[in-house]
Amino acid sequence: MKVRTRSKFAVALSAAALVFSTTPAHAVDLTGSGATFVAPLLEACKAGFAKSTDHSFTYGGGGSGTGQKNSDAGVGDFWFSDSAYRAGTRTSIIHAPVVAAPIAVMHNLPSSRQLYLSPETVAGIFAGTIDRWNDPAIVKDNNRTVTEVIYRKDKQGNAQLDSKGNPRVLRTAKKNIRYTLPNKPIKVIYRSDSSGTSNNFTTYLNGVAKSIWTKAGNNVFSTAFPGDINAKDNIGRIVSASGSQGVASLAAKTKYSITYAEKSFADSNMLKIAAIGNASGNFTLPRSPAVSAFLGEATVDATKGFFSFDYFTKEPGAYTLGIVSYMLVDTNYANKTTAAAVKQLANYLMSEECTGGSNAALGYVVVTGKLKTVAQAQINKIG
C-alpha cells in the first residue's frame, strides 16, 4: 500500500538511528557496484566508515545498470541504482533509499552569467529541437523578470521547517535578467551506459514537457530519446560518454556543451549550473534546501521503499530534479557478519557524519523524518 507522505526532509539524524558498532568482532571488506551518482559520497565517507566500524569497502561504480545486473548475479555485497529496479530476479534483494541529491543541468558557456532554463526549454534542448544557444526559447528564459525563493536554513544548511513540517521562506527575490546568448550550436552530452540518472532525468522531461519529450523515462538515454538520435543533424552534436564523470569531463572539454549529472561533478569539473524553473514559475538552483523541499513532496511506497516524485508541486522554492538513490541489499546474506556490516554501511551513509559536515559541499541531502523511517525499515530487513 502506498502512503502519501507530506513530511519534509531535514538534516539532523538521531544517534539512536545509527546501529553500527565501533568494535566489530571481525572486520569486513565489502564490495559494491552500480550508480556513479553516489560515487563522490561513498569516496568521501570511506575513511569515516572505517574509523567508526573498522570495516572497509570498495565501490566499482559502472552505472545503475551494472548495479542491477550484479545484484541479480550476486556479484559483490551491495549495489546502487538511481531508479527502482522492479525487474530484479532475486526476491531477497530489497531497496533501501539511503542517498538523496539533485541532478544538475550543467553547461560550458563562456559567460559567467547565471543561466535560467524553463522545464520545456530543458526538454527541447535535450530532445534536439532547440539546437542553438540563441534560440528564442532560451533568449526568452534569460531576458525577463525571474523570481527566486530562498528558504531559511537549519544548522546543517538545509530547509528549516515550521511546526507543520513546511519549509520556512526567508525571502523572495525578483530579478530583472539580461543575457546576450551566443549564436553557437548546443553540444548535448548524454550518458551512454545504463544509468538511473538518465532514467530519472528522462522521466522528469517526460513528466514536465510531455508534448516535447514524448517517450517514457528509461535507463538508456538513446532509448528514451523522443526522435531519431542518429539523424543527420544530431550526429556530432548530440554525443555520449560513460558515467557521471565521463559526461562531466567531456563537457568540461567541449565549449557550448550541456549535460546532466550529480551536482558535485559540476563543481569538480568547473562547469556552470543552470537554474531550473518549477511549477510555481520560480527558478531554483540545486541547493539542499530547495532539493529537500521537493523530495518532501514525494509519494512513498512504504512496503517496497520506492519513491514517486511530484514534478508539479507548488512548493515555491522546490528544485524539481532531486532524486533518491537506492542501495540494493539482501535480506538473506549467507554470511551474517557480512549482513551486519552492510547494515552498518547503510546507516552510516544516511548519517549527518557522512552526508553533512565537511561533506555538505558535495550537495547530498541527509534522509530524515518519515521518509527516513521508510529507509530504516528496509535496512532493518537486511540479513
**pLDDT tens, per residue, the chain with 383 residues:** 344 444 444 433 344 344 444 444 578 999 999 999 999 999 999 999 999 999 999 999 999 999 999 999 999 999 999 999 999 999 999 999 999 999 999 999 999 999 999 999 999 999 999 999 999 999 999 999 999 999 998 877 778 888 888 899 999 999 999 999 999 999 999 999 999 999 999 999 999 999 999 999 999 999 999 999 999 999 999 999 999 999 999 999 999 999 999 998 998 999 999 999 999 999 999 998 999 899 888 888 878 888 899 999 999 999 999 999 999 999 999 999 999 999 999 999 999 899 988 888 898 987 776 678 889 999 999 98
**CB under 8 Å to 92, separation ≥6 — which residues?**
330, 331, 332
Element containing residue 31 per DSSP (H, E): strand 29-34
Contact between 97 and 325 (Cβ < 8 Å): yes
Cα 181 to Cα 31: distance, rounded to the nearest angstrom: 47
Cα 158 to Cα 332: distance, rounded to the nearest angstrom: 36
Longest Cα–Cα distance of the chain, Å, equals 64
* Structural domains of the chain in order of their starting residue, each with its CATH number: 2-101+323-379 (3.40.190.10), 103-290 (3.40.190.10)
Cα 57 to Cα 72: distance, rounded to the nearest angstrom: 20
* Residue 81: all three cell numbers together: 541504482
**Strands 116-117, 144-151: parallel, antiparallel or unpaired by DSSP?**
unpaired
Burial class of residue 69 (count of CB atoms within 10 Å of its CB; 0-12, 13-18, 19+)? middle
Strands, DSSP E only, in 35-115? 56-62, 78-81, 93-107
